[in-house]
Structure 1
Amino acid sequence: MSFADLGLSDELLRAVGESGYDTPTPIQRQAIPSVLMGRDLIGIAQTGTGKTASFVLPMIDILAQGRSRARMPRSLILEPTRELAAQVAENFEKYGKHHKLSMALLIGGVSMGDQQKALEKGVDVLIATPGRLMDLFGRGKILLTGCGLLVIDEADRMLDMGFIPDIEEICTKLPATRQTLLFSATMPPPIKKLADKFLSNPKAIEVSRPATANTSIDQRLVRTDSRKKKDAIVDLLRAGDVKTAIIFSNRKTTVRELATSLKRRGFASGQIHGDMEQPERLKELDRFKTGEINILVASDVAARGLDIKGVSHVFNYDVPWHPDDYVHRIGRTGRAGATGVAITLATSEDAEHLDAIEKLTGMKIPAMEGAAAKAAPEPKGGRAERKEKAEPKRRGGKRAQSEDAPAAAREEPRREESRRSREEPRRAREDRDSREPALVDEGWNGPVPSFLGTGFGH
């Protein structure tokens, strides 16, 4: 099946072809005809399946008929973060270049005055984060009574970020007779309740089992210990087949240290984490997309939703503490039909987290073979086996200690246990802190990318 079989216009097919695509993904094949027919839709799809184009393409053709009016957008797309909203805007600019449609992007960090001017001219497509939209609505700068098409994207992440009450309020301000499309990686009860309340007889599409890792990704495990991690990652990066890579760490401090260390060793590396201001994050992402750097060290603030084309490898420098994060991290590679490699560095302390990941994904991550895997080897036995090997055997009910073993060696396990007890609270705090910046709508006074304008295709 080709895009021409889906009922799209010739102008749109030309733009799709010029973008280098000729075959629709499964969700695009199922969603586009239903959206063109005006049906409500629930799309359950993991990241990297071509979900964004499955609603952007038919929307462009639907909106080609009609005219926009001041302060009354004809369609609304809700995104949980500025980065995701900006990516959807890029898609509209790319695929809508042969149409005369206007667009506005309502996100924090961009001048509210410029956004109000765009709304005053009238827009066909409004792409917004819930917070900024509610802010402008409360100021009387926008009316939603003319909006005939609503897209709620990344609904499960909206839930995680506490946006569901805002979305419910926004839905009540839209016309009752409208078309609503809801996309989510999973369907927890609050999202199902939202869909039941605001969608009318929706068509349900599910292109993969929720929370399942992409099968086009070759997943591997490298066993190491914390002291040899940097050497292990360097050996893996120098293995020869790494074109572009994202390296994920659990802590912002580790992201900074690792990015600096890799740069010292001659790698073209950058970093993105929660302590960076929005212009810095966008600049680093742009450097990575344009090929100025080919290695990006990141915290989980960058793990969800970012669509960076052509990432050949994802490395988990740290095993993620939450199994869902593993799925979202490795989903940065193997996107839109391509294949990718995801390699996870694991220490003996990661056994429980690995078990949780393998339970969620329904597969055991195979241990990596070859020279790269030997960079920092560790016994392959299970947790109990490792404990038994590390612990001296008992004789006569008492633990035997080698008389020539240094006192420091005998003291090491106690010191390690004490360190872990101190580390866990700090780890929890850093984990929390690394997530918070994605939720905060901090100001951004940097340059505005070209696609954030009010129109395209003129």
Structure 2
Amino acid sequence: MTKFSDLSLNPKVLKAVEEAGYETPTPIQAGAIPPALEGRDVLGIAQTGTGKTASFTLPMITALARGRARARMPRSLVLCPTRELAAQVAENFDIYAKYVKLTKALLIGGVSFKEQEALIDKGVDVLIATPGRLLDHFERGKLILNDVKIMVVDEADRMLDMGFIPDIERIFGLTPFTRQTLFFSATMAPEIERITNTFLSNPAKIEVARQSTTSDTITQKLVEFKPTRRDQTAKQKREMLRALIKEEGEGCTNAIIFCNRKVDVDIVAKSLKKHGLNAEPIHGDLDQSHRMRTLDGFRDGSIKYLVASDVAARGLDIPNVSHVFNYDVPGHAEDYVHRIGRTGRAGRKGTAIMIAVPADDKLLAAIESLTESTIPRAEAPWQPSASSARRDAADAKPDEEKPARRSRSRSRKSEDASAEEAPVQAEPRKPEARKSEPRGKSGGGRRGDRSDRGGKQVVGMGDHMPSFIALSFAERRGEAAEPAEAPQEAETYAEASDNGDSENAA
């Protein structure tokens, strides 16, 4: 059996490895370290949790033990997809290089530019960075990549998922053509293969397991159930999650619970805390210092349940994770492999449990097709009962009946209004009154169509011109006018006025 002492590593590096408690390299380490020490490009393909980080950190420290970096010109470069993974790689360098005088800098978001620039200005041997922050420093003129001798791309398939491939290609173009490239990935998508063919020169390919396979040390379970109502799915999934945690009992010492959406991460964590479970959320929208505190708390045991988005699914090395719960079936089949790879690491046993509803059938089929295995089905410890279904229906019933009640109330109001308005109708005029009134000068039953002007009753504003408009000025002043000059309508108006006056007098 191969040991680290057989791999031609620097004696100071071997001493640090022994103090860390490691004697036997994993298959990916045994396969990648020798060609890396020879200066060859390396393409490493291995499932998550197999020790890929040490596969490039150990030969890099050995190769960089001699020499000194110049200001703003790092001697090696390690690219990571997430801040957490970059910070983890930096911790590994601290562990393995404690007897070797190497300087390092960590370039990630959420940290002051000035602090990072101060480290770069002094000169660093190892530069660990996320692609975006690295290019930010380069565009500011604070970084020169002409002296990079070793370049590492870690979790390349995650880089592809996060859209970093154009940035990776640009960074490759900024580094010397003579560099040594160490390229590691858990899966080998066509785009990843294209990049390796373009930027790697005759690499030593180490594939210790079939692509996208899950570790044999992980016990997988799939729990399926049918929600009583579609709008109750999220609530009942949270109840199912709590039932699964309770069923695992003391065997569940800690767990990572994965959700597809950041908003669900917060909701699930809040729900678990409400029911007395020690849970905290972690996702990309949280401040970097908050995320690091949460991870540190999960590592030291002060946090038992870590509710996470896929930001924590790739590359994080938390050795003693007993369980992984997939609250949501991942949207990408590859993410399932990475999620459950957070448990069962370094030969330890682990358990991965996934919750699924009928709407997840296509995603399940994609996962089983990728891994070429069927996830064992397990009996659900909790099922939505008929009583809970009736309760959910009762809770939703008032909301469903509200529109009907509003419509009935409106119809009643309209009926009451019509009933009140029905009696208020103009009484029909008597035929005699209409006969006595000339056409166009109707008087009775209309509001505002009678007024006294100059002692004479003014009738009008019907369909025709009012008769008083045709009166002479003398008649309007109450003076006598010549009969010959008065229009016919005026005479009719006068007769009507006289009749009206006589009726009033009577």
Q: Structure 2-normalised TM-score?
A: 0.71
Match status 1:136 vs 2:143: no
**Residue number in structure 1 paired with 2:204:** 203
Match status 1:176 vs 2:184: no
Contact 1:45 1:207 in 2 (8 A): yes
**Residue number in structure 1 paired with 2:49:** 48
Q: Which amino acid aligns with 2:372?
A: G
Secondary structure of the residue aligned to 1:281 is: helix
Hey, what's the Cα distance between the residues in 2 that align with 1:54 and 1:222? 36
**Residue number in structure 1 paired with 2:382:** 375
**Could you tell me the percent identity over the aligned residues?**
59
**Residue number in structure 1 paired with 2:343:** 333
**Residue number in structure 2 paired with 1:71:** 72
Secondary structure of the residue aligned to 2:86 is: helix
Q: 1:345 to 1:165 in 2, by over 3 A?
A: closer
Q: Matches of residues 121-200 of structure 1 in structure 2 within 5 Å?
A: 121-200=122-201
Q: Matches of residues 4-403 of structure 1 in structure 2 within 5 Å?
A: 4-224=5-225, 225=227, 226=233, 228-238=236-246, 239-368=249-378, 373-376=380-383
Structure 2: 5+ residue runs without aligned partners? 228-232, 401-506
Hey, what's the Cα distance between the residues in 1 that align with 2:242 and 2:328? 14
Contact 2:325 2:354 in 1 (8 A): yes
Q: Which amino acid aligns with 2:193?
A: K
Hey, what's the Cα distance between the residues in 2 that align with 1:205 and 1:89? 24
Q: After alignment, is 94-103 or 130-139 more displaced?
A: 130-139
Q: Which amino acid aligns with 1:312?
A: S
Q: Deviations along 1:58-81, whole A, 9 cap, x unmatched? A: 111111111121111111111122
Q: 1:367 Cα shift?
A: 1.7
Hey, what's the Cα distance between the residues in 1 that align with 2:293 and 2:16? 27
Q: After alignment, is 138-147 or 326-335 more displaced?
A: 138-147
Secondary structure of the residue aligned to 1:250 is: coil
Aligned residues: 381
Q: 1:310 Cα shift?
A: 0.9
Q: 1:236 Cα shift?
A: 2.3
Hey, what's the Cα distance between the residues in 1 that align with 2:85 and 2:18? 24
Q: Which amino acid aligns with 2:381?
A: K
Q: Deviations along 1:325-347, whole A, 9 cap, x unmatched? A: 21121111111222210011222
Hey, what's the Cα distance between the residues in 1 that align with 2:144 and 2:261? 42
Hey, what's the Cα distance between the residues in 2 that align with 1:270 and 1:356? 30
Q: Which amino acid aligns with 1:184?
A: S
Q: 1:74 to 1:359 in 2, by over 3 A?
A: same
Q: 1:99 Cα shift?
A: 1.0
Hey, what's the Cα distance between the residues in 2 that align with 1:375 and 1:168? 50
Q: 1:252 Cα shift?
A: 2.8
Hey, what's the Cα distance between the residues in 2 that align with 1:249 and 1:191? 26
Q: 1:182 Cα shift?
A: 1.0
Hey, what's the Cα distance between the residues in 2 that align with 1:336 and 1:34? 23
Q: Which amino acid aligns with 2:90?
A: A
Secondary structure of the residue aligned to 2:381 is: helix
Q: Which amino acid aligns with 1:289?
A: R
Hey, what's the Cα distance between the residues in 2 that align with 1:183 and 1:202? 12
Hey, what's the Cα distance between the residues in 2 that align with 1:258 and 1:162? 28
Q: 1:166 to 1:36 in 2, by over 3 A?
A: same
Q: 1:228 Cα shift?
A: 3.8
Q: Deviations along 1:367-401, whole A, 9 cap, x unmatched? A: 225xxx332389xxxxxxxxxxxxxxxxxxxxxxx
Hey, what's the Cα distance between the residues in 1 that align with 2:381 and 2:148? 58
Contact 2:110 2:287 in 1 (8 A): no
Hey, what's the Cα distance between the residues in 1 that align with 2:356 and 2:198? 44
Q: 1:314 to 1:121 in 2, by over 3 A?
A: same
Q: Deviations along 1:250-301, whole A, 9 cap, x unmatched? A: 2333322221222222222111124322222222111111110111111223
**Residue number in structure 2 paired with 1:455:** none
Q: 1:354 to 1:165 in 2, by over 3 A?
A: closer
Contact 1:271 1:297 in 2 (8 A): yes
Q: Whose RCO is larger (CA < 8 A, sep 6+)?
A: 1
Q: 1:160 to 1:262 in 2, by over 3 A?
A: closer
Contact 2:244 2:381 in 1 (8 A): no
Secondary structure of the residue aligned to 2:188 is: coil
Larger Rg: 2
Structure 1: 5+ residue runs without aligned partners? 379-404, 416-458
Q: 1:173 to 1:356 in 2, by over 3 A?
A: closer
Hey, what's the Cα distance between the residues in 1 that align with 2:173 and 2:242? 53
Contact 2:41 2:182 in 1 (8 A): yes
Hey, what's the Cα distance between the residues in 2 that align with 1:110 and 1:368? 45
Hey, what's the Cα distance between the residues in 1 that align with 2:264 and 2:189? 33
Q: 1:187 Cα shift?
A: 2.2
Contact 2:104 2:125 in 1 (8 A): yes
Contact 1:43 1:205 in 2 (8 A): yes
Hey, what's the Cα distance between the residues in 2 that align with 1:168 and 1:318? 33
Secondary structure of the residue aligned to 2:92 is: helix
Hey, what's the Cα distance between the residues in 2 that align with 1:347 and 1:199? 43
Q: Which amino acid aligns with 1:211?
A: S
Contact 1:229 1:376 in 2 (8 A): no
Q: 1:377 to 1:324 in 2, by over 3 A?
A: farther
Hey, what's the Cα distance between the residues in 2 that align with 1:374 and 1:119? 55
